[in-house]
Structure formats: structure tokens, C-alpha cells
């Protein structure tokens, strides 16, 4: 009886969500769109009928939720709704892409294929997630909706992450902050990007998340009153000028507040720019720029602006199409407030990103989506030149090149060029043309001679100086920033070294013949491993250049030592870490690493120096290649990359420590420099709390001081008590645990 009731309840929930989806899609449905969506829903429901999620709910609710995000929060149409409903069908059932194509056409089949089937064989040493991501980006050259639906899929997975085990939560959250949140940001989907960041913090450090959320809740009434008082004179002036507008006030996101707390080592109460006001104007597209500047002028007539905080993304939109005027002004209560001015069209593009461009394409012409198309072309260009790049290197290049801000510079003839922030004069040369980059001798910036490593600034006018005698060198890789320049330089160096490698190989073959060693690739690889080279081609180059003395071959027990090195290389490059001894012993014994009590677990581990975890921190174990298991804090800056790219090496860990155990950690203290304050600090630490200090240092300047204390504590509770006591000392401005 209970089973029947459960089935009936599930059907009602599924039907409710399906009808909700149809209501959201109704405004733009045409012809037989509703029938197509129903057909997709029925196929998905039938395919997933016996499947349930970790939470216990019917699996079909997941594709329904993804489709709801696609239509409601991203603003895509019928093709994307159908693709979202079917996005797991091919992967999880016997259906093939060909079956989808017969029923729904080639366009939807192609999107499903991009979402579910990753072509090619992965290199064993690559991270699967990184390689999947590269394969996924390849679909951008066909249909960007694949990426948009994938982001919707990730958003729903993050919203329902509570039902997953803790280690899975950390891995998925790390992937999200490492790849998906920046990608959503770059595609202009700011609300989704913000929610993904907040959800990352919720699962990686729930204590901090809850603390900030609680403080925001407690200050909500005061914030609402502040915003109401702040916008009152602005509304009055806008009304006097007969402008149609809407004003929204919002606090910063929990993630951005957490970032500020970390960077500035301050308390929540010390953050002054918690507020952002958005003024959205209803005006025809031809008057947008004038209207935005008019409103900006009205705001700055009332409140004094910070001249260093004006951002004009209307005259020069961001590469993802984002347009807005940003300024930070001083309120009458002495608090900084960020004011954003934009039109309804700009706001919809800012909220829904790439999808919103399609709506305005016909009205606004090519200009509306020119910036984002240029960015997508950059992705396609990166993908075309990076086929031989290792997957993890590719992800690093992708993040640094396509998720960063732009710098706007000019050619000698006044043509505007957009590069990533941090680009150098040499990057600019390769951006103009590969041959100009390869022959670049120097540059003139604003009529002054500068080196190749000169970092470009907004507004620079650059003239590249070339010479036919010039050629790329290894050093050039140290001061280029863009993937295009790096790849072209590496290609040139490879061509240059190929002939050198051939000569080096001939030298090795002659020496092998003399020593009666078989001439084959296996022994070449053993020799490379013996000299700690990545491959034997690099070894041949060094031998030809005289960096490795070939006469020393005979002086070493080459075959025995090289065989040992080769076995290590094989273990490290293996995709199955079962073959790696420490893990082979670890996996059958325990699924959770117990820290601090040697009687509970005999597995050796060490604490990572990058984040110095102590008892009580949320931590995980990471299995390294050569240093055993390293313990990291969940919020360690390196943890995101480790969990995202090497999730299969992550171990759950928990503390079971006794009070006699102590851990080294550090505090930073800022305050007013007064007589006796150092004595007050050390008295609390040593006398009151009986904590052993390893070192203490203070730097004073202009009546203030910055201090750093290294000490040994038992756990986070003891550390928290100490921080609270120190904050109460007269003259102390802030006390914080040092992250690294």
C-alpha cells in the first residue's frame, strides 16, 4: 500500500514540475513546440523510470529542473528545452544519438552528442575532468547552447548537493569554482555565476557560509532602510526629468564578502561597501548611451564619486557583451555604495548573458553580440592551436586567457585591439601576426622604447620593431601571457630543436653501440628517466648542446638505475592509481583517513605547508606521487585545483586528536601602535592561555603596526578562543588566521 502511495506521490510531483515548465515556456512557443516538448518529456520519463537520484527522488526531476533553468534563468527556447530534457538519455540508457536524430532532428541530436558523448581516448596522465572540459569546449564551434545547458546541469547538481557524500561534495564544488563559475561569468550569466560561487562556499566551508549568511540576515532591516534613504533623492531627480526607470538595491554575495574578509584580514563589521544600487532605464536603443550618462550625472550631483572607481563598459563593452556604467559614491552616512547605470536591454544581457543576445540581434544589428562573438572566436582559435597541449595545461591557459579582464590598446594607426589583462608587448606582436611576433626586437609604447616584457596598460599606443635576424628564444616564454603567443613560440622552438635532437640521437646511438646497449626506444626512455627528462627528445637536445656529457654514460649503472626510474614513470603516468603502492595499501583498509591518533590508523600522512591545517579544520587527504598523503584544508587555495583535476586521489579525513597534540599555525594582527600593546598580546597568549609561541614580529608605520605570530595550538577551538580574546585588547583593529 505504501509503495502505491509513493508512486502516486511521485507522479503528482513529476506532473507538477512538467506543467510548471510548460507555463514558463508558453510565451515563446510556436506551432508544434508544445508537442515536441511533450514528446521529449515522455521519452525522458520512460528512459529514467526506474532510476532515482541520491536524494531518493525520481531521476526525471533532474532533467525537468535543468530544462526549467534553461528557459527561466538563461532564457533559451524550445530546442534547448528538449535537449535539456534528453541530456542524460543517451549516457544512461540503450538509446543512441542516431535514435535522437530520427525522432527530434539533427540539431537536437548534435547538442545531445556534445553533452553526453566525449570522443577520443584520454591520455592516461591527463585528468578526466580537464579532458572532458576541453572536449566540451570543442562544441562551441558548433553550438554554444551545449555549454549553456551544461552550466544549467551543474547549477541544479550544486543546488541538490546535500544528498552526496562529503568527499563528493568537495570534488564537485571544487570543479564548479574552478571551471563552471568562471565560464558562467565569461558568458555573461552573472546571477548563475554568483549562485555557483555561494554554493561552492556552502559546501567547502559550511561554517563560514552560515556565519556570513546569518550576519546578512541580522543586518537586513538596517540595509533596507539605508538603501531606501540612499535612493530617495535619486528617485526625486529622475522623476523631475520624466525618466522611466527601475532601481534595485542588493547586498554583495556571500562569496564576494568572504573574499574581501580574506584579502583584507578584516571582520564583517568592517566591510563598508556591502551595498550595490542598480538603476535600469527604459529608453530606445539609439538614446541608450546619452541616457546612461545623464543618469550618472544626476547621481554624482547628489553623491560625491570616487574618481578611481569609474568603469565605462558602455563606450567599450566587455568581450562577453556586458554593458554598464559603474561608479562608487560616498553616501551621507559615510559608506561607499556602488552604483550601476544601464538600460533594460543591457540589464537583460547582464542577467542572461549570451542567450539574451539572440533576442536583440535583429534590432541592434551585429554590434549587440560582436564582443561575445569575438570571445567565442578566441576560444575556437585556442582550441585549434592547442590540440597537442596536455589537458591540464590547456585548462590553465583557458582560465588565464579567457576568464580574465581585458586591456584595450591601439595600433600606430589608431585601431583598437583587445588583449587579456597582463599581456606584454610581445603578446601584442603575436596578436598582430605570427611573423611579426617571431621577428619582434622591441616596441615603442606612446613613442617611448620599451622591452618585449613591457606589460600593457589601457590606452597604450604600440608600435612593434622587427628584425629579420631576430628569432624566438626559450626566455620569451617567461614573459608572454596569451596562449596564442605561447603556442607559436613553442612551435618555433620545437622546429628549431628537431634538427638538434636528430644530431643528439646519433651521438647516443654511437655511444650505445660502443657500450653494447641495444638501440631501441625503451632504452632511450630509460636513459631519459635516468637523467630526469620528460622524454628522450629533450635528452637528445641537451646532449647535442653539451648540457649532458655523453662520456659519463659508462660511469653509471645505466640499465639497473634507468629501469627503476622507468618503473616510477610508469606508475605516475598510470590512470589507475591501484597500481601505485601507497594507494594499493590504502584503499582496501579504509575509506576515511583518521588524523591525530596513531592507534586508530597506521597510514602515514603529513600536513600541507600551503594551508597549515590544525585539528578541527575541515580537511581532506590528497595522495601525492612522491610524498605520500598530504592533508589540506577544504578552503586551501590549492585544494580547488587538486579536487577538480585529481578527484580520484582525494581521501576523506577526520580529526581524532588528543590534547597533547599541537599544531603550528600563524596569526596576523593589525592595530594602533601604543606602549605596552606587544606585552598585552604576549601575556594573553603565553600566561592566560598557556600557548607556546614559536616566533613573533611587529612592523610599525605611521602610528599603526602589522604583526605576525607563529604558535602551537591544540585545535581550532583553542585558536578561536585566542582570536576572540586578542580582538578585545585595546588598540587591536583585526586578528585573523593566516591562510598560508
What does DSSP say about strands 629-633 and 605-607: parallel, antiparallel, or unpaired? parallel
The more confident residue out of 436 and 405 is: 436
- Average confidence (pLDDT) over 120-146: 51
Closest CA to 457 of 410, 404, 403, 412: 410
Q: What is the pLDDT of residue 335?
A: 81
155-164, 490-499, 503-512, 620-629: which is most confident: 155-164
- Average confidence (pLDDT) over 675-696: 82
pLDDT digits (tens, 9 = 90+) for 315-340: 888 766 788 999 988 888 888 888 99
Say whether pLDDT at 115 is over 90. no
Say whether pLDDT at 553 is over 50. yes
Q: b/e string for 382-401 if b means 16 or more Cβ within 10 A?
A: bbebbeebebbebbbbbbeb
Residues 6+ apart with CB under 8 A from 733: 670, 671, 672, 704
CATH number of 372-470: 3.10.20.30
The more confident residue out of 267 and 121 is: 267
Say whether pLDDT at 1 is over 90. no
Say whether pLDDT at 236 is over 50. yes
Say whether pLDDT at 281 is over 90. yes
| Spatial distance between the Cα atoms of 99 and 103, rounded to a whole number of angstroms | 6
In the chain, the percentage of residues whose pLDDT exceeds 90 is: 16
Say whether pLDDT at 382 is over 60. no
Residues 6+ apart with CB under 8 A from 344: 280, 281, 282
Closest CA to 281 of 334, 207, 346, 338: 346
Closest CA to 162 of 206, 216, 215, 211: 206
Q: What is the pLDDT of residue 75?
A: 82
Contact 475, 424 (CB under 8 A): no
- Average confidence (pLDDT) over 569-574: 40
Closest CA to 644 of 662, 620, 667: 620
Q: Please, how many CA atoms are within 13 Å of residue 294, restricted to the half-sphere of its CB?
A: 17
Closest CA to 79 of 17, 21, 137, 33: 33
SS3 409: strand
pLDDT digits (tens, 9 = 90+) for 160-175: 999 888 888 888 888 8
List, as one string, the DSSP characters of 179-191.
Answer: IIHHHHHHTT-HH
Q: What is the pLDDT of residue 355?
A: 57
The more confident residue out of 146 and 101 is: 101
From 91, 142, 235, 545, the catalytic residue = 91
Contact 400, 419 (CB under 8 A): no
Q: How confident is the model at residue 584 (pLDDT cuts 50, 70, 90)?
A: very low
Q: How confident is the model at residue 63 (pLDDT cuts 50, 70, 90)?
A: very high
- Angle, alpha carbons 550-556-557 (nearest 5°): 130
Q: How confident is the model at residue 383 (pLDDT cuts 50, 70, 90)?
A: low
Contact 669, 735 (CB under 8 A): yes
Q: What is the pLDDT of residue 583?
A: 36
Which region, left, alpha or beta, applies to residue 353 given φ > 0 means left and ψ of -120 to 50 means alpha? left
Assigned CATH topology for domain 2-204 = Hypothetical protein af1432 (1.10.3210)
Say whether pLDDT at 623 is over 70. yes
What sign does the dihedral 263-268-270-276 (CA atoms) show? positive
- Average confidence (pLDDT) over 84-112: 87
The more confident residue out of 591 and 692 is: 692
The more confident residue out of 627 and 355 is: 627
SS3 658: coil
Q: How confident is the model at residue 733 (pLDDT cuts 50, 70, 90)?
A: confident
Q: What is the pLDDT of residue 276?
A: 81
**Right CATH number for 212-365 from 3.30.460.10, 3.40.50.1370, 3.40.50.410, 3.40.33.10?**
3.30.460.10
Picking from 361-370, 487-496, 660-669, which range would have the lowest pLDDT averaged per residue?
Answer: 361-370
SS3 58: strand
Contact 82, 43 (CB under 8 A): no
Picking from 59-63, 220-224, 482-486, 569-573, which range would have the lowest pLDDT averaged per residue?
Answer: 569-573
Picking from 252-256, 370-374, 426-430, 649-653, which range would have the lowest pLDDT averaged per residue?
Answer: 370-374
pLDDT digits (tens, 9 = 90+) for 165-214: 888 888 888 888 877 888 788 777 888 999 999 999 999 889 989 988 88
Dihedral (C-alpha) 346, 347, 352, 353: value to the nearest 10 degrees?
Answer: 30
Q: What is the pLDDT of residue 352?
A: 73
Q: How confident is the model at residue 239 (pLDDT cuts 50, 70, 90)?
A: very high
The more confident residue out of 603 and 290 is: 290
pLDDT digits (tens, 9 = 90+) for 446-488: 888 888 889 998 778 889 988 888 888 888 888 888 878 888 8
Closest CA to 130 of 647, 489, 705, 568: 647
Residues 6+ apart with CB under 8 A from 284: none
Q: What share of the chain is helix, strand, coil (3-state, %, to 5)?
A: 55, 15, 30
Say whether pLDDT at 718 is over 90. no
Phi, psi of 105 (to 5 degrees): 95, 165
Q: What is the pLDDT of residue 563?
A: 45
List, as one string, the DSSP characters of 686-711.
Answer: IIIS-PEEEEEEEEEETTEEEEEEEE
Q: Which residue has 562529503 as its cell numbers? A: 166
SS3 307: helix
Picking from 160-164, 285-289, 618-622, which range would have the lowest pLDDT averaged per residue?
Answer: 618-622
Q: The domain at 663-737 falls in which architecture?
A: 2-Layer Sandwich (3.30)
44-53, 535-544, 596-605: which is most confident: 44-53
Contact 108, 83 (CB under 8 A): yes
- Average confidence (pLDDT) over 564-582: 38
Count, in order, helices (H) and strands (E) of the chain: 30, 20
Structural domain spans, the chain: 2-204, 212-365, 372-470, 490-573, 577-654, 663-737
Nine cell digits for residue 692: 607556546
Closest CA to 151 of 110, 194, 120, 113: 194
SS3 200: helix
- Average confidence (pLDDT) over 680-696: 82
Say whether pLDDT at 586 is over 50. no
**Longest Cα separation, the chain:** 95
Contact 677, 731 (CB under 8 A): yes
- Average confidence (pLDDT) over 551-556: 54
Q: Which residue has 541580522 as its cell numbers? A: 218
Picking from 74-88, 503-517, 723-737, which range would have the lowest pLDDT averaged per residue?
Answer: 503-517
Closest CA to 284 of 351, 361, 343, 237: 343
Q: Give the other-Cβ count within 10 Å of 51's Cβ.
A: 13
Q: What is the mean pLDDT of the chain?
A: 78
Q: What is the pLDDT of residue 650?
A: 81
Q: How confident is the model at residue 590 (pLDDT cuts 50, 70, 90)?
A: very low
Closest CA to 718 of 670, 676, 672, 655: 655
Q: What is the pLDDT of residue 555?
A: 42
Say whether pLDDT at 367 is over 60. no
Contact 634, 620 (CB under 8 A): yes
Nine cell digits for residue 21: 515548465
From 8, 92, 627, 699, the catalytic residue = 92
Phi, psi of 23 (to 5 degrees): -65, -40
Clarify whether 91 is annotated catalytic: yes
Say whether pLDDT at 21 is over 70. yes
pLDDT digits (tens, 9 = 90+) for 305-315: 988 788 888 88
Q: In 544-649, which ranges are E strands?
A: 592-595, 605-607, 619-623, 629-633
Amino acid at each position: 500500500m505504501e509503495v502505491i502511495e509513493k508512486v502516486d506521490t511521485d507522479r503528482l510531483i513529476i506532473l507538477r514540475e512538467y506543467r510548471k515548465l510548460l507555463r514558463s515556456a508558453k510565451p515563446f512557443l510556436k506551432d508544434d513546440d508544445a508537442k515536441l516538448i511533450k514528446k521529449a518529456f515522455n521519452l525522458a520519463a520512460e528512459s529514467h523510470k526506474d532510476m532515482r537520484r541520491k536524494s531518493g527522488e525520481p531521476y526525471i526531476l533532474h532533467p525537468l529542473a535543468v530544462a526549467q533553468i534553461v528557459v527561466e534563468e538563461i532564457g533559451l527556447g524550445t530546442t534547448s528545452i528538449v535537449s535539456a530534457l534528453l541530456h542524460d538519455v543517451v549516457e544512461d540508457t540503450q538509446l543512441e544519438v542516431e535514435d535522437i536524430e530520427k525522432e527530434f532532428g539533427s540539431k537536437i541530436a548534435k547538442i545531445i552528442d556534445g553533452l553526453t558523448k566525449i570522443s577520443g581516448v584520454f591520455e592516461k596522465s591527463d585528468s578526466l575532468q580537464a579532458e572532458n572540459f576541453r572536449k566540451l569546449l570543442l562544441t562551441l564551434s558548433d553550438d554554444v547552447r551545449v555549454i549553456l545547458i551544461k552550466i544549467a546541469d551543474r547549477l541544479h547538481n550544486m543546488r541538490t548537493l546535500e544528498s552526496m557524500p562529503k568527499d563528493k561534495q568537495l570534488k564537485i564544488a571544487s570543479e564548479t569554482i574552478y571551471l563552471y563559475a568562471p565560464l558562467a561569468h565569461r558568458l555573461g550569466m552573472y546571477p548563475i555565476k554568483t549562485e555557483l560561487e555561494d554554493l561552492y562556499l556552502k559546501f567547502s566551508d559550511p561554517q563560514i557560509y552560515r556565519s556570513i549568511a546569518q550576519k546578512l540576515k541580522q543586518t537586513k532591516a538596517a540595509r533596507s532602510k539605508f538603501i531606501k534613504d540612499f535612493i530617495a533623492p535619486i528617485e526625486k531627480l529622475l522623476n523631475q526629468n520624466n525618466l522611466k526607470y527601475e532601481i534595485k538595491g542588493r547586498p554583495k554575495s556571500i562569496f564576494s564578502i568572504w573574499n574581501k574578509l580574506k584579502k583584507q584580514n578584516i571582520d564583517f563589521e568592517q566591510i563598508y561597501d556591502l551595498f550595490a544600487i542598480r538603476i535600469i532605464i527604459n529608453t530606445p536603443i539609439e538614446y541608450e548611451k546619452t541616457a546612461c550618462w545623464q543618469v550618472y550625472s544626476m547621481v554624482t550631483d547628489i553623491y560625491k564619486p570616487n574618481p578611481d572607481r569609474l568603469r565605462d563598459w558602455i563606450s567599450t563593452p566587455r568581450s562577453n557583451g556586458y554593458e554598464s556604467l559603474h561608479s562608487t559614491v560616498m553616501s551621507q552616512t559615510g559608506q561607499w555604495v556602488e552604483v550601476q547605470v544601464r538600460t533594460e536591454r543591457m540589464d537583460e544581457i547582464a542577467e542572461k548573458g549570451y542567450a539574451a543576445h539572440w533576442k536583440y540581434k535583429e534590432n541592434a544589428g551585429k554590434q549587440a553580440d560582436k564582443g561575445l562573438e569575438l570571445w567565442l572566436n578566441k576560444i575556437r582559435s585556442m582550441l585549434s592551436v592547442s590540440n597537442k597541449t596536455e589537458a591540464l595545461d590547456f585548462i590553465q591557459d583557458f582560465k588565464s586567457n579567457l576568464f580574465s579582464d581585458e586591456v584595450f590598446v591601439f595600433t600606430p594607426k589608431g585601431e583598437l585591439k583587445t588583449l587579456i589583462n597582463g599581456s606584454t608587448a610581445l603578446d601584442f606582436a603575436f596578436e598582430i601576426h605570427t611573423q611579426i611576433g617571431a621577428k619582434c626586437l622591441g616596441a615603442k609604447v606612446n613613442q617611448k622604447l620599451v622591452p618585449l616584457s613591457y606589460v600593457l596598460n589601457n590606452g597604450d599606443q604600440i608600435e612593434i620593431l622587427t628584425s629579420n635576424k631576430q628569432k624566438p628564444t626559450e626566455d620569451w616564454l617567461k614573459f608572454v601571457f596569451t596562449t596564442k603567443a605561447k603556442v607559436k613560440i613553442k612551435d618555433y622552438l620545437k622546429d628549431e630543436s628537431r634538427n638538434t635532437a636528430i644530431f643528439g640521437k646519433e651521438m647516443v646511438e654511437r655511444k650505445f653501440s660502443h657500450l653494447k646497449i641495444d638501440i631501441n626506444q625503451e632504452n632511450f626512455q630509460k636513459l631519459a628517466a635516468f637523467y630526469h627528462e620528460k622524454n628522450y627528445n629533450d635528452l637528445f637536445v641537451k646532449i647535442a648542446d653539451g648540457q649532458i656529457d655523453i662520456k659519463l654514460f659508462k660511469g653509471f649503472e645505466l640499465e639497473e638505475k634507468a629501469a627503476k626510474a622507468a618503473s616510477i614513470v610508469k606508475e605516475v603516468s598510470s590512470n589507475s592509481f591501484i597500481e601505485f603502492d601507497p594507494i594499493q595499501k590504502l584503499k582496501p583498509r579504509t575509506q576515511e583517513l583518521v588524523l591525530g591518533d596513531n592507534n586508530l590508523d597506521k597510514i602515514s600522512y603529513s600536513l600541507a605547508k600551503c594551508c597549515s591545517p590544525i585539528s578541527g579544520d575541515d580537511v581532506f587527504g590528497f595522495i601525492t606521487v612522491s610524498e605520500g598523503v598530504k592533508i589540506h584544508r577544504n578552503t586551501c587555495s590549492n585544494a580547488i585545483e587538486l579536487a577538480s583535476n585529481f578527484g580520484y586521489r582525494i581521501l576523506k579525513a577526520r580529526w581524532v586528536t588528543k590534547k597533547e597534540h599541537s599544531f603550528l599555525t600563524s596569526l596576523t594582527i593589525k592595530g594602533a601602535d601604543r606602549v605596552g600593546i606587544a606585552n598585552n598580546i604576549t601575556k594573553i597568549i603565553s600566561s592566560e592561555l598557556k600557548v607556546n609561541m614559536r616566533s613573533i614580529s611587529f612592523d610599525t608605520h605611521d602610528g599603526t603596526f602589522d604583526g605576525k605570530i607563529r604558535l602551537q595550538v591544540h585545535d581550532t577551538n583553542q585558536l578561536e578562543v585566542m582570536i576572540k580574546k586578542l580582538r578585545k585588547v585595546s588598540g587591536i583593529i583585526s586578528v585573523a588566521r593566516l591562510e598560508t
